[in-house]
Amino acid sequence: MKKSLALGLISCVPLFGLSQQFTGYTYDNYSGVHGMLQNPASVAASRYKVNINFFSLSALAGNNAYELKNDKFKKFDFSDLTEDKDYFKSANTDKKNLWLNTDIMGPSFMFTSGKKSGMGLYTRMRSVVNTFNLSDNTFRFFGSDSALYNTPIQEEKLQVKAHAFAEAGLTYGRVIYSTPEHLLKMGITGKYVVGIAAASVYSNRLNVNIDKNDFINQLQGDLNARYSSNLDNVDDDFGDVMDNLDNNYGWGLDLGFSYEWRPEKNNWLLNDPLPYKLRLNASVNDIGSVKYKNSEHGDSYRLDASGRTTDDLDKQEGETIEEYFTRLENMGIITPTAHESTMKVKLPTTLRIDADYHIWKRLFINAGAIVNLVNRDKNQTTAQYATSFTVTPRLEKKWFSLYAPFYYNTLNKKMAVGAGLRAGMFFVGSGSILSNMFSNKNVTSADVHLGVTMSIYQRVKTKRYKTKPAPVREEPKEVIKEVTVVETKVETKVETKVDTVEKKVEIIKEVQITHDKDNDGIVDEKDECPEIAGEVTLAGCPDKDKDGIADKNDSCVDVAGIAKYKGCPIPDTDNDGLNDEDDKCATVAGIAKYNGCPVPDTDNDGVNDEDDKCPHTPGKPENNGCPVIKQEVAKKVAIAAKSIYYMSGKDIIQKVSYPKLDIVVKVLKSDPSLVISIEGHTDNVGNAANNLKLSAKRAQAVKNYLIKKGITDSRISVQGFGDSQPIAPNTTPAGRAKNRRVELHLNYN
């Protein structure tokens, strides 16, 4: 189903909680602990000596917006549901209400502590979720195209509220007035409440106009979001919702009265300890509240999403609530205007009254009402129950009961008929099962309750059983393990021998004195040039240019040279100022920087490397030797850069940014010649030095992500500019949102 306006605001379909729990069952004289929940006075002078609840559950869901195909419900087939095939939009044009309510009771018990008193202790977990005033026009946007597109819509006092809490309650009840015909009981329950989570979103006014392509022509108004701080890091699976509950607590109170009229002439049930003709109950339940630490994003906001799409309002997969609100703030969709550090959520206070009439023998009929006492306009963070009415005929015995509640909810405005059974330790029932199973109408609501209990009735003798003493267990024999340790010593000796050899060398020089014709100090027998005086080092031959090469072997006797070139200097064939010995391009004139070679053109694109900004990638001369980046590629990267979001004040990238960054990874992998530069920027809020560090860290975080995805470090450069390069005025929230950005620039290496 395509998400639209409301889905973007609250990230899930809103729900509305019904008021009845264990519908019809709690009026039974043998409902025990569950009757105590309905009215604490019932614990006094009850039909039980002891009643224990091991586990019980009540769950309800319904709405006036969608209708489930009846065949699907009867087969309990709720998989792969398709709109307009398996479920349909209701034809009514009322304000839309959807609801879910759960009540789970853990280990609990009650007992009669005397002829006139009783006590009870229970543990319980509940959730109530509400929505109010969602217009039919806005609802029609959900899931399909509509003629209402491009139609101005105005939402007023739209509310979505949810509260989940656990409680432990201690109940005391006592008979305060008693005569043969009249009995009056009073009961009170004190409860300690641990808040699991609370959240509310409400708006006094919203102006909405959306076109067929889900482009938002107008979405402006106020948005007030409050939610407990432990929801900040919760993901789509609500995996961490039970963390950090220490500061979420409160106290509650139930107060009830019960009156029984027992005319002696009608006292036909002689074995019944508490016969009556008429019983009247009244109680006020759930007086109290829970205090939560409000999230740092639990603010009042100005909302302006005009010019965007409904996708921008969607809570992305894997995105926590904190990340969701941070992204909306960064995008300028919501602008904070007020904040409170704490959040007070009232319990769903109700007035519960009923009259139970004893028809004949084991037949009874009960008429009851539950009236909501929470003003929803004044308590915009408090989820509440709806006002509802029931009429429940029943057949009641000690170990067995049958009941059939007729249930009417003032918001749903439909009558439902259910059925229930209590047999021994077990009970199961529903306030709507008969309506849904034996009607051809589509299903709009459903509920179920069930539980396992154990009871000890009044005036029941118990047997004592002797138990055999437990067999004495023999002590295990000790096992002694022996360990043998063997020590081994190894001695190593190394001997080294050095032999010395001495050698004696005798040099015998014989000197014969003969003739020296040219008087150069070299005898003629050893003088290669005996007629001309020469150099001793050149065997008596002359060296005119003093280059160490005898003139007879020197081709350039007047210029000093080297033997390799027969006494001539090293040549410079290409006349570029570098001799051929040092010139790597001896036949082509070049420059010393490139060892006598011309300036290279590595990529052979006609632009030498000195002028080529992309020397390793062939490009165009008019683009300084670089290739032209395709427009569609540059556009993809630019869009991705605008979709990079961080945790507020941190360099941690939000998960919602990952799909866009993966597009950048794909672009870089498709062309290994591409390189990317990452620039981080901030607004001017805070210290400039800190902003500079933060911008650099944020740019580095993007680089780290790209490297993790397989892009080499050498292809990525990063730089932080802090608040030094704004692209919009920092004087407005929208301008600051634009300045908090990351820029990605592609180029070729």
| Most confident residue range from 100-104, 152-156, 391-395 | 391-395
The rounded distance, in Å, linking the Cα atoms of 594 and 583 is 9
* CA nearest to 67, candidates 445, 430, 413: 445
Q: 161 and 199 in contact (C-beta within 8 Å)?
A: yes
User: Nearest-5° angle of CA 88, CA 89, CA 92?
Assistant: 135
Give the separation between CA 181 and CA 198, rounded to whole angstroms: 47
Decide if pLDDT at 16 tops 70.
no
Q: Are strands 674-681 and 716-720 parallel, antiparallel or unpaired?
A: parallel
Q: Which CATH architecture is the domain 5-457 placed in? A: Beta Barrel (2.40)
How sure is the predictor about 575, in pLDDT bands with cuts at 50, 70 and 90? confident
Could you give the CA distance from residue 58 to residue 431 in angstroms, rounded to a whole number?
11
Structure tokens at 432: 């709507």
The candidate with the shortest Cα–Cα distance to 324, out of 233, 239, 221, 238, is 233
Query: Using 50, 70 and 90 to split pLDDT, how confident is the model at 469?
Result: low
Phi, psi dihedral angles at 696 (to 5 degrees): -65, -40
The 10 Å Cβ neighbour count of residue 294 is 21
Greater model confidence, 272 or 556: 556
The confidence score (pLDDT) of residue 419 equals: 97
**698-729, pLDDT tens digit by residue?**
999 999 999 999 999 999 999 999 999 999 99
Choice between 284 and 599, residue whose per-residue pLDDT is larger: 284
- Could you identify the residue written with the tokens 């249930």? 407
The mean per-residue pLDDT over the stretch 245-258 comes to 89
Integer Cα distance of 663 and 693 in angstroms: 27
pLDDT band at 488 (very low <50, low <70, confident <90, very high): very low
- In this model, does residue 7 exceed pLDDT 70? no
Q: What gap in Å lies between CA 472 and CA 468, rounded to an integer?
A: 12
CA atoms 10, 12, 14, 16: torsion sign:
negative
Which pLDDT belongs to residue 144? 55
Cα 316–322–327 angle (5° rounding)? Answer: 60
Is residue 499 within 8 A of residue 507, CB to CB? The reply is no
Q: What is the pLDDT of residues 612-643, one digit of tens each?
A: 778 878 878 877 778 888 888 888 898 889 88
pLDDT score recorded for residue 484: 36
Determine if residue 437 is left, alpha or beta; phi over 0 gives left, psi from -120 to 50 gives alpha, anything else beta: alpha
**pTM for the whole structure:** 0.63
Q: For residue 348, is pLDDT > 60?
A: yes
Model pLDDT for residues 390-431, shown as the tens digit of each residue: 999 999 999 999 999 999 988 778 899 999 999 999 999 999
- Lowest pLDDT segment from 73-77, 148-152, 298-302: 148-152
pLDDT-above-90 percentage for the chain: 40
β-pairing, 153-178 vs 117-132, is antiparallel
Strand-pairing partners, residue 257, are 186, 282
| pLDDT of residue 434 exceeding 80 | yes
pLDDT of residue 287 exceeding 90: yes
pLDDT for the residue numbered 51: 97
* Neighbouring C-beta atoms of residue 645, cutoff 10 Å: 25
Instruction: Tokens for 107, please give them.
Output: 């280990």
User: What's residue 491's pLDDT?
Assistant: 40
Looking up tokens 């009941």 gives 403
Average the pLDDT over 285-292 and give the result.
Answer: 96
Residue 252, H or E segment: strand 249-261
Q: In which band, very low, low, confident or very high, does the pLDDT at 471 lie, cut at 50, 70 and 90? A: low
| Token digits of residue 285 | 């339940």
Q: How many CB atoms lie within 10 A of CB 456?
A: 13
Query: Rounded CA gap, 634 and 619, in Å?
Result: 17
Question: CB–CB of 288/253 below 8 Å?
Answer: yes
Whole-angstrom Cα distance, residue 23 to residue 567? 120
Is the pLDDT assigned to residue 343 strictly greater than 60? yes
DSSP alpha helix (H) spans, 606-657:
631-641
Q: What is the CA radius of gyration of the chain?
A: 47
Position 461 pLDDT exceeds 60 = no
Per-residue pLDDT at 18: 44
* 3-state percent helix, strand, coil for the chain, nearest multiple of 5: 15, 35, 45
> Which pairs from 134-138 meet CB under 8 Å and 24+ separation?
134/6, 134/14, 134/95, 134/96, 134/97, 134/158, 135/95, 135/96, 136/92, 136/93, 136/94, 136/95, 136/96, 138/5, 138/6, 138/208
The rounded Cα 198 to chain-centroid distance in angstroms is 17
Q: Which amino acid is at 596?
A: G
Detail the DSSP E strand segments found in 294-362. Answer: 299-304, 334-339, 342-346, 350-360
Write out the DSSP string of 278-312: EEEEEEEEEEEEEEEEBPTT-EEEEEE-TTSBGGG
Q: What is the pLDDT of residue 274?
A: 53
Single out the residue of 169, 184, 133 nearest to residue 14, CA to CA.
133
> So where are the chain's domains?
5-457, 631-748
φ, ψ (nearest 5 deg) of residue 450: -160, 160
Euclidean distance between CA atoms 61 and 436, whole angstroms: 13
pLDDT for res 478: 46
| Residue whose C-alpha is closest to residue 546's, from 530, 567, 521 | 567
* Pairing between β-strand 98-105 and β-strand 48-63 as defined by DSSP bridges: antiparallel
What is the percent of the chain with per-residue pLDDT over 70, rounded to a whole number? 86
Second-level CATH architecture of 631-748: 2-Layer Sandwich (3.30)
Look at 123-127, 499-503, 602-606, 692-696 and tell me which has the smallest mean pLDDT: 499-503
pLDDT at residue 654, rounded to an integer:
86
Contact 647, 326 (CB under 8 A): yes
Strand partners, 178: 183
Q: What is the rounded average pLDDT for all residues in the chain?
A: 82
pLDDT band at 354 (very low <50, low <70, confident <90, very high): very high
Q: What is residue 246's predicted lDDT score, i.e. its pLDDT? A: 62
Nearest of 199, 145, 191, 142 to residue 171 by alpha carbon? 191
- Tell me how far apart the alpha carbons of residues 233 and 343 are, in angstroms, rounded to a whole number: 18
What is the spatial distance between Cα 447 and Cα 20, in angstroms, rounded to a whole number? 10
Q: How far apart are CA 474 and CA 221, in angstroms?
A: 79
Residue partners of 640: CB distance under 8 A and separation at least 6: 660, 661, 663, 664, 744
Alpha-carbon distance of 570 to 457, in angstroms, equals 124
Residue 521 backbone zone (phi > 0: left; psi -120 to 50: alpha; other: beta) = left
* Half-sphere CA count of 252, side-chain side, radius 13 A: 28
Nearest CA to 6 among 127, 101, 96?
96
Q: What's the whole-number mean pLDDT along residues 270-286?
A: 80
Copy the structure tokens of residue 125.
Answer: 């977990």
β-pair type (299-304, 334-339): antiparallel
Strand intervals (E) in 17-116: 48-63, 66-68, 87-89, 98-105, 108-112
